[in-house]
Structure 1
Amino acid sequence: MTHLADNIILLLAVLLLVGVLSTKFSTRFGMPALVLFIAAGMVLSRFVYFNNASLTQVAGIFALIVILFEGGMQTSIKDIRPIMAPALSLATVGVLLTTAIVGVFARFVLDVPWAESLLFGAIVGSTDAAAVFSVLGGKNIDKRLTSTLEAESGSNDPMAVFLTVSLIEWIQHPDTAIWSLLLSFVWEMGIGLVMGIAVGKLAVYLINRINLDSTGLYPVMAIGFAVLTYGLAAMVHSSGLLAVYVIGLTLGNSELMYHRTIMNFNHGFAWMMQIAMFTLLGLLVFPYELADIAWQGLLLSVILMLIARPVGVFLSLLFARFSIREKTLISWAGLRGAVPIVLATYPLLAGLPQGRLFFNVVFFVVLTSAVIQGTTISPLASRLRLVGKDDAQPSLMELVALGKTDSEFNHIAIDKHMPIAGMQIAQIGLPEDILFTAIIRNKGIVTPHGSTVIEPGDTVYVLSPKSKRDEMRAIFRSGKGKAAESSIPTM
């Protein structure tokens, strides 16, 4: 037994290291890392027999919680506010249209009844946050488009989950009333949204007020709130995934103690969850079964990429201010990933006759989508002349307490609209116990002096007492400090 445990641990270590190193390959070719992780799982399936769909579903949902939470924290409300309406239209109307179109073709390609074919359409109807964040991250694609795609991928999962669960219930209980499903949809989305905001506000308050002995506990606390949000939302039969994305948005756009520490932890943890989830999903697939459905999977994948997704995008964005070139890129960037595969375990666990067929075909569709679309998004954006300037700003403020002392470091990103932008440090009027310790400018370090000019794009490191936190914030928000008659002391 000990020998077996040692071998499993060694195997997990190899998978983790291979997964991390494979991201370099993924970045170079623009291919979502999920393809490599799934491939690793499929190779392992030749040596390890694994057929536990229930465990895979639980692991997949937990991984999605971490991934959506991290994606929400990375998303700036300032960036998504102008595109919120089209993103929500894509996440609702777009998913419905995609579900219907794919469902019609699946009826004949897979030769299944109408209810089952629509179920297949619902399973592949949503884009995947992990795949979209992975491919778009670091790309120089126009910010308005990437914000739309990220907001869509973070908010359309609840719609796909609702459609999948509702259609399974309809298949098992044909007498289910349509109006009850519609009321259920309103309840799930509304309560999920409220739950995410409420728990998010509570999390921000507690993280900023509590004084933990170890800074490493703050990221764990944040993840704990994300999982708690999902659990509470699921308990009242609302959308847990929407609630998790919303709590991520709430924390990511708040002035939060250890903001950067939490973000860095979440980023690494999300990658680890992706590696574990996709490898586990790969283990659940038997490669020889894919050969039997190769032509159906390829045909449905082409229909999804070239017909269903574009029609869904163009119709749901009919009144949005996007050009044809922009809608074309949004259509092509609708990557499928973990969510469809996790949703494909639902028919398996429900015992539907077509459960295994759906899982294999969905798996094939996800692989082809990731390989074909993932590797061509960036070249297509360049060809459509939709590559924009990289003007992303770091977070407004990062607070790092110095152990049990009364002081903390503040990392403040200087925006061009801040009143202190263009001012000399001596003109700001800082109190004597608030010190500028360093300025990061163009990847270099500038030693601050009284005559040093604060420029837009700078990141200023400030040492200040915890008791002066509000006063320090007020200076950067309003540019008003106590008048200084002499140079400000710096370190």
Structure 2
Amino acid sequence: MEQAHELVFIGSLLLLAGIVAGMLSTRVGAPLLLAFLGLGMVAGDDGLGLHFASTSTAYLIGSAALALILFDGGLHTRRRVFRLALGPSVVLASVGVAVTATVAGAAAVFLLQLGWLQGLLIGAIVSSTDAAAVFLLLHQRGRDINERVAATLETEAGFNDPFAVFLTTTLVTLASGHGDQSFAELLYYLAREALLGAAIGVGGGMLLVQLVNRLTLAGGLQPILAMAAALCLFAGTQLIDGSGFLAVYLAGLIAGNSRLKSSQTILRFHEGMAWLSQLVLFIMLGLLVTPHRLLPQAPAALGVALVVILAARPLAVWICLTPFRFTVQERLFIAWVGLRGAVPIFLAMIPTLARLPHSEVYFHVAFLVVLASLVLQGWTVAPAARWLRLEMPSDKRHGHRLDLEIAAAGSREISAYRVPAGAPALDRSFEQLPLPRRTRIIAVLRDGVVMNRAQLDRLQPNDVVLALTPPETLEMLDKLFAERRGPLAETALGDFVLDPNVPMATVVDLYGLPATLSDRAKTVGVFLRQRIGRRPVIGDRIHLGLVDLIVRALDDDRITEIGVVLEPERDPLDSVSIRRRLKRLAGGARRVVRRRRAAAGAGGPHSS
């Protein structure tokens, strides 16, 4: 009994220490997950002497933790974000993972003196990214990134884990001598695993929504019901050889974009569970490793890490994203922040559980690759976003929406918000609030008193607003009543706001901008949309003469506000852009050809 108390005491002490370490790491700009991992190593065999060496226990805890992290990721992924990034994310999570695994595996073959099967196994283990780590780093500084880039990283993280797991388990089977399947059979197993995971995830998510909304439970049990259902979906799908990781992510996506009773309670609970899962997972992985035993593989593992960071990931991103018209800055950022997190270390346990020869090498290399990625990439995520001009004001989605369970008639529901200081809703009079379509404010409470709408001029901080709105417009209301933090919110999206219905000719004449006659006949909004050439997101910009035009606000896919930067900073890639150099060379070549043709025409038989 005393031993049980000691375990509870040590476990809770480690969690407290992890939270304190996370606070300290935030102050110095260090990655939070690196702090958690470092704490586990300090507490382990080579530090304070806590011994933990059960790979099977670590695999069990890691599976549950990753399932909860993916479920929370799905809950917080908006349907619009998912649609925006579905195509590029699926390609990155399949072709991208395969390219990364192949290049990293080739590096492991030569650096670690392994056979091709063993080298490719290491490549498969380190091929998966951890976008949750990226967003932790950005959000701890109160910053966000371009929505298209964020959506791609976020959705990729939900999809690439299943493919990395499939590659790893397939190669482990082959390495153990039990695999004699043909390539067609392997493709069949992969397709079956993905289809089972997708079908069970979508169906399970719909069933979860019905359970939460129809069962009458005590308030505290609803988030626990959601958590139990998520773990059940994950484990059940794995038992029938489907992708449990994909199933639990899609279930969270379905539930998070549906009407849920006590939705804010469920979201806050699972956000806390995701933090707890990250904390437990990384401390446990730090405990599992013995630092002095990493040294023999350190030089080769560092080489593999550099190949993954500087060659494999960039190559995969360039191959996968070029057809989707991502800008050079966006591709560079996605390539750089392909951060390795808990998944590679988790996958490195599979060879140990399968009792493969040299399984310790796989684990140590994966651990060192993750460590190098957290140090090298983790510390530079925010500067890279700033340098590539992808940094956006922080979007505190759902931060001030209150949990209110009042059913409304038809296809609308009632939502409540407490208005924070600095919210965009405070910038305009009450009658001029930019409400989404089919949205109506039905009451405003100030100090517990319902205000008379006829006497209400402006909203004030701490007012409670009740709004009748369709579920699909909740995200826009969240932004209207969200808190803006820091000067970036005022400057990143332009020096001032331009109405998208202003004629382009007016702007061209006012600022002396280059434009064709057809461009002058358009509105600024239509011109900007056509120049972007894809579905716009907030932060998209084009450079025109002496100004930058930036998408500042959207209503669905319609541009509603345009920011204007009068003295834009120089594009960081101007001096290295191969495309611009090729254009200049092509332009020079065309001018030479025209001059030669003109000279040939002047010197022809009809010339005098």
- The question of a shared fold, defined as TM-score above 0.5 by the shorter chain, is answered with yes
- 1:232 aligned to 2:233? no
Q: Equivalent residue for 2:59?
A: 57
Q: Equivalent residue for 1:438?
A: 445
Q: C-alpha separation between the residues in 2 aligned to 1:411 and 1:26?
A: 35
Q: Equivalent residue for 2:82?
A: 80
Which one of the candidate residues 208, 211, 214 is aligned to 2:216? 211
Q: Equivalent residue for 1:178?
A: 183
Q: Equivalent residue for 1:367?
A: 371
Q: Equivalent residue for 1:287?
A: 291
- Secondary structure in structure 2 of the residue aligned to 1:140: strand
Amino acid at match of 1:450: R
Deviations 1:437-478 (A, max 9, x none): 538xxxx999643233798x9996449xxxxxxxx557998x
Residues 338-347 or 266-275, more deviating: 266-275
Equivalences for residues 266-305 of structure 1 within 5 A = 266-305=270-309
- Decide whether aligned partners of structure 1 residues 435 and 91 sit closer, same or farther in structure 2, where only a CA change above 3 A counts: same
Unmatched 5+ stretches in structure 1: 403-407, 464-471, 478-491
- 1:338 aligned to 2:337? no
Q: Equivalent residue for 1:450?
A: 453
- Secondary structure in structure 2 of the residue aligned to 1:112: coil
Cα drift, residue 140 of structure 1: 2.4
- Decide whether aligned partners of structure 1 residues 474 and 319 sit closer, same or farther in structure 2, where only a CA change above 3 A counts: closer
Deviations 1:315-358 (A, max 9, x none): 11121121111111001110101100000000011111121001
Deviations 1:225-273 (A, max 9, x none): 1111112211221100000110111111112111111111111111112
Deviations 1:381-409 (A, max 9, x none): 1111111244564389765349xxxxx98
Q: C-alpha separation between the residues in 2 aligned to 1:157 and 1:88?
A: 11
Q: C-alpha separation between the residues in 1 aligned to 2:209 and 2:137?
A: 30
Q: C-alpha separation between the residues in 2 aligned to 1:379 and 1:196?
A: 37
- Secondary structure in structure 1 of the residue aligned to 2:114: coil
Q: Number of residues paired by the alignment?
A: 450
Q: C-alpha separation between the residues in 2 aligned to 1:475 and 1:243?
A: 24
Which one of the candidate residues 121, 124, 130 is aligned to 1:122? 124
Deviations 1:265-289 (A, max 9, x none): 1111111121211111111111111
- Asked if 1 retains the 8 angstrom alpha-carbon contact of 2:418 and 2:465, the reply is no
Q: C-alpha separation between the residues in 2 aligned to 1:113 and 1:446?
A: 74
- Secondary structure in structure 2 of the residue aligned to 1:165: helix
- Decide whether aligned partners of structure 1 residues 70 and 133 sit closer, same or farther in structure 2, where only a CA change above 3 A counts: farther
Q: Equivalent residue for 1:467?
A: none
Amino acid at match of 2:324: A
- Identity fraction in percent: 37
Q: Equivalent residue for 1:483?
A: none
- Decide whether aligned partners of structure 1 residues 170 and 474 sit closer, same or farther in structure 2, where only a CA change above 3 A counts: closer
Equivalences for residues 363-442 of structure 1 within 5 A = 363-391=367-395, 393-394=397-398, 399-401=403-405, 410-411=415-416, 422=432, 436=443, 438=445
Q: Equivalent residue for 1:15?
A: 14
Amino acid at match of 2:26: T
Q: Equivalent residue for 2:40?
A: 41
Alpha-carbon RMSD: 3.2
- Secondary structure in structure 2 of the residue aligned to 1:156: helix
- Asked if 2 retains the 8 angstrom alpha-carbon contact of 1:19 and 1:275, the reply is yes
- Decide whether aligned partners of structure 1 residues 200 and 429 sit closer, same or farther in structure 2, where only a CA change above 3 A counts: closer
Larger radius of gyration: 2
Amino acid at match of 2:21: S
- Secondary structure in structure 1 of the residue aligned to 2:323: coil
Amino acid at match of 1:261: T
Q: C-alpha separation between the residues in 2 aligned to 1:252 and 1:334?
A: 25
- Decide whether aligned partners of structure 1 residues 448 and 183 sit closer, same or farther in structure 2, where only a CA change above 3 A counts: farther
Deviations 1:110-132 (A, max 9, x none): 11111111010000001024423
Unmatched 5+ stretches in structure 2: 407-412, 474-608
Q: Equivalent residue for 1:192?
A: 197
Q: Equivalent residue for 1:27?
A: 26
- Secondary structure in structure 1 of the residue aligned to 2:404: strand
Deviations 1:287-321 (A, max 9, x none): 11111111111111111100111001111112112
- Decide whether aligned partners of structure 1 residues 453 and 148 sit closer, same or farther in structure 2, where only a CA change above 3 A counts: farther
Amino acid at match of 2:12: A
Bigger RCO of structures 1 and 2 (CA < 8 A, at least 6 apart): 1
Q: C-alpha separation between the residues in 1 aligned to 2:471 and 2:130?
A: 41
Q: C-alpha separation between the residues in 2 aligned to 1:105 and 1:429?
A: 56
Q: C-alpha separation between the residues in 1 aligned to 2:434 and 2:381?
A: 44
- Asked if 2 retains the 8 angstrom alpha-carbon contact of 1:393 and 1:413, the reply is no
Q: C-alpha separation between the residues in 1 aligned to 2:403 and 2:287?
A: 42
Q: Equivalent residue for 1:481?
A: none
Q: C-alpha separation between the residues in 1 aligned to 2:439 and 2:366?
A: 62
Query: TM-score, length-normalised on structure 2?
Result: 0.68
Query: TM-score, length-normalised on structure 1?
Result: 0.84
- 1:355 aligned to 2:359? yes
